[in-house]
Chains A and B, each alone.
Chain A
Amino acid sequence: MKHIVPFLLLLTILLSACSAIAGTANPSSTSFDINDWDSVVAAAKGQTVTWYLWGGSESINSFVDAFYGKALKDRYGITLHRVPVADTVDAVNQVLSEKQAGKDPGAVDLIWINGANFLSLKQANLLYPDWANKLPNSLLVNWDNPAINRDFGTPVDNLESPWSSAQFQFIYDSARLNPAELPRSYAQLKEWVIEHPGRFTYIAPGPGAFQGTRFVKGALFEISGGADQWSTFDQATWDQWSPELWKYLNELKPYLWRNGETYPKDENELHSLFANQEVDFSITQAAVGAGALIEQGLVPATSKAFVFDQYMIGDFNYVAIPANAPNKAAALVLANLILDPELQAAQILPENGFGLGYGIDINRVTDPAALVKLQDAAKKLGDAATSPVDLAKSLAGDSDAQYQNLVETGWRQNVLVSSK
């Protein structure tokens, strides 16, 4: 044992030497001026952009390759290297470990990101700063919208640029239920659940299961009579309303699937309970509603999305560039490309397999041909989607990020663990 300690010290020194060498071995990428877009495009030519994105959906993967991979190659001479990750937190951990190992340039050029993972990297100061508003297509983004300039309540500060939008919705099976009997509010949901014991459940709120957190926040909004007061953090408001929220959820609990003793941990688990007819509702965030899920065979073909009249939380998702990205120019070009109106129109069509909503504001699109494409695409969302009018009517912004943790830990303590 005596010999191990000096050896470990030696090893540590060797390891740090390695990272120092690695740091100097790779010269920094071709220089460009972010304020001069032509210089960015010129620097990006010939680069390979490594994009880490959640790879759990085969249809999204092929959409990315077919639409962005091809356009990057044809228009800019950039090669797309798509790295599928099981969870975005893996990409975050990659960047964090690179920082700890002193690795610059790193391996990641672009990450599909939002919410808590964005907060992690922002907190650790690991994001390339001041670029999102410099993209030419950034003019099409409505940066005045708090749903865009705040990501789960965290100011975006030009550290990330939007890709698409999503909104909380429920899914039902039109072969099992008819639209008239669907609940349209949390109050009606409670009545429905009590009349149909064991036929409803929701995703356990917690890190990595934001859909469940969102379901609970929607209830909080309805119980407290509005979403607006939750957009800024106030402990007193929380203390006033959270007991009501736990009361509501505990009233649901005995009538839930498996008596609320356990909950599905993610969307896929809930989809399979729904497909297996153990419960009658599932949850989705997609603009095409159940469309993409039907294509993947995860839910019955007769599934349709629906919303309550109010408090269906919607948000945007983004791409961010790590501070140690080796090919920043190519990453910037890709981040700009995904805001291209034509590709935005392509991303919402169910047959293309992506299925999330617009990241840009179509009212800002001045090119008439592009505008027509965007408007047409919005009309072709398919039967399994909620109508855009209903979506817009029920839309609520997410609450301040500080509530996220309160809702999640509070739910564990007061609903999951509690024997009430």
Chain B
Amino acid sequence: MAPAILLVGILFGVSLIYGLAQSLGLLTGTDQRALSLAAYQNVLYGSEGRGTEFWTSLGFSLWVAGVSTLLSAVGALPVAAWLNYQNGRGRQMDTLALNWNLAFPHLVWAIGLLLFFSQSGLLARLAALLGWIQNPADFPVLVRDRLGIGIIVDYVTKEIPFLALIVLAALRSQPEDYGVVAANLGATPWQRLRFVTLPQIFPSLISGSLLVFAFVFSAYEVPSVLGMPYPRMLPVLALDFFANPDLHHRAEGMAISLIIAAIVVIAAAISLHYEKHAGSSQ
């Protein structure tokens, strides 16, 4: 464990310290030499549109991450249950199908969705060709939309397999006896699911979901490809500030990044708590 912690500590520790320094206005390439909280002030309650956009972006990020996580968790349960039900035969094939989906990078998945579902995409052209719509531009707006539906679809389709694998692992490691005992004591199948199976997989499902939430909340590439100029998710906003040619905005970009990091750390801590809980209950 120790070398791994050391490596992670160095890689993340140094970047974190560096990021903190930049968010306080140091090392941004400007001539500022004193610590300043101006970047945080501008971001949190600045008047120049930045302050207001931060809160919109925070809300939008919470919305996208929350909905994606919820739908993924709800979707993963039946998939895992169904796979678990397929005892013996075909087991490996099913898990392979899930792993295959995981092998796609999010960026590739997002661009794939864009090529399929955008108004100049394959489906739009096909629909126009078949005469369902007059021209491709009449196709409904499914990606790059105001509600972030395209982004959510990307995450849900990618995270259901991920969470299903986690739940499946919990299900398969569970001794069958509990279910048998419950059945012996007269539990209906529904009662067995509700009072025996679900409590056993819940801790792993919740900790997995929190990881998904943290990931979706802090990832850049999918909202960058499938998002709109407004509203933007926080990572997109952060990079936009950081890449602003006016070096004074770098500190603000870093401040947003650190706020994202803080929220992710909170999610990770809760997740860790549940994982421990899951470990001790077994």
Contact = CB atoms under 8 A, between A and B. Distances in A.
B9 A7 contact: yes
A11 B246 contact: no
A320 B228 CA distance: 34
Interface in B101-159: 119-120, 135-137, 141, 144, 146
Contact of A207 (B27, B30, B245): B245
A115 to B, nearest CB: 7
A120 interface: yes
Interface string A202-239: 00101110000000000000000000000000000000
A412 B120 contact: no
B136 A100 contact: no
A412 B49 CA distance: 8
Nearest to A119: B245
Interface stretch (A140-148, A243-251, A270-278, A379-387): A270-278
B229 A262 contact: yes
Interface residues on B, range: 20 to 34
Contacts of A8: 9-10, 13-14, 17
Contact of A100 (B27, B53, B144, B245): B27
Interface in A153-180: none
B263 interface: no
B10 A273 contact: no
Interface residues of A, number: 40
16 contacts: A4-B6, A4-B9, A8-B10, A12-B14, A116-B245, A120-B29, A125-B31, A207-B240, A208-B243, A261-B146, A262-B230, A276-B120, A413-B52, A416-B230, A417-B56, A417-B230
Given A8-B14, A11-B14, A262-B144, A96 B245 contact: no
Nearest to B250: A96
Contact of B247 (A123, A277, A405): A123
Contacts of A100: 27, 29
A278 B136 contact: yes
Nearest to A408: B244
Contact of B49 (A115, A120, A413): A413
Interface in A84-133: 89, 92, 96, 99-100, 115-117, 119-120, 123-126
Given A409-B49, A413-B49, 12 more contacts: A4-B9, A4-B13, A8-B10, A117-B245, A120-B245, A125-B31, A204-B229, A262-B144, A262-B230, A413-B52, A417-B56, A417-B230
